[in-house]
Amino acid sequence: MPVIISQTPNPNALKFTVSAMFDAPKSFAAGKPTDDPIAAPLLAIPGVTSVFMSADFVTLSKSPDAHWDEIVPEATGILEITFG
C-alpha cells in the first residue's frame, strides 16, 4: 500500500497513512534523542519538529518557515521503505 498524505486543520502538520498499525500512540520531538527506527530518520529531515504515530498513520509537524515540498518527498521515501 502506498503512503497516503492528508492535510490536517493545522497547516504545519500533515498526516501520512501507512500500511501498519501501531500498538499505542507515540510522540517524538525534535531536539530530544530517540532511537526509534521510524521517528529518528523523520526527525532528521530539516524543518520537521515532531512525529506522532497512532493507529495506521504518522503525523509530521514542521516549523512555520519550513516547506512541505522539501519535506514530503523525503518523508514519503522513509515511510515507503519502512512500511513498503
List pLDDT tens digits, range 12-62: 999 999 999 999 999 999 999 999 999 999 999 999 999 999 999 999 999
CATH code of 59's domain: 3.30.1370.70
pTM attached to this predicted model: 0.95
Residues 6+ apart with CB under 8 A from 14: 5, 6, 7, 8, 59, 60, 68, 72
The C-alpha cell at 32 is 530530544
Domain of residue 49: give its range.
4-83
Residue 1: pLDDT above 80?
no
**Structural domains of the chain, count:** 1
pLDDT tens digits, one per residue of 50-74: 999 999 999 999 999 999 999 999 9
Residue 84: pLDDT above 90?
no
Nearest Cα residue to 21 out of 6, 41, 44, 1: 1
